[in-house]
Amino acid sequence: MPNTIEIKSYHVIVYGSPQGYQNIRAQISLFNVPNKTAAFVRFIEPTQPFPNDYEESGIIRMFLHINMLDSVMDLIRNEKPIYIYFTAAHAFLTTSLEPVGENE
């Protein structure tokens, strides 16, 4: 089983200019404890080459298209708890098991 990290807080940055910052349009930093980064979820334009997810020095880097930003923000804002993990060359952002009809 991969190391699953519970996310406690986050920080969002949206980059301006036609290219963004290093071809990244937005980034969500995920923290498992105050000031300890667990992951970066980076959003790129669909026309950009799509990087592979990876883990380096214990920090996960996940890449998604910019059109996924709203969905990921909704998940982070409205679900609790949420987790991130990395296995088999892929990053995963997930909730715990949720009851049907919970009305969150």
Domain range for residue 83? Answer: 5-95
Average pLDDT over residues 9-29: 90
Choose between 20 and 53: higher pLDDT. 53
> Structurally, how many domains does the chain consist of?
1
**Within-domain flag for 103:** no
Using DSSP's 3-state secondary structure scheme, residue 72 falls into helix
With cut-offs at 50, 70 and 90, classify the pLDDT of residue 1.
low
**Within-domain flag for 29:** yes
**Within-domain flag for 44:** yes
With cut-offs at 50, 70 and 90, classify the pLDDT of residue 96.
confident
**Within-domain flag for 53:** yes
**Within-domain flag for 17:** yes
**Within-domain flag for 100:** no
**pLDDT above 90: residue 40:** yes
**pLDDT above 70: residue 72:** yes
Average pLDDT of every residue of the chain? 90
**Within-domain flag for 58:** yes
Six-digit token string for 88: 């088999």
**pLDDT above 90: residue 55:** yes
> What is this structure's pTM?
0.88
**Within-domain flag for 69:** yes
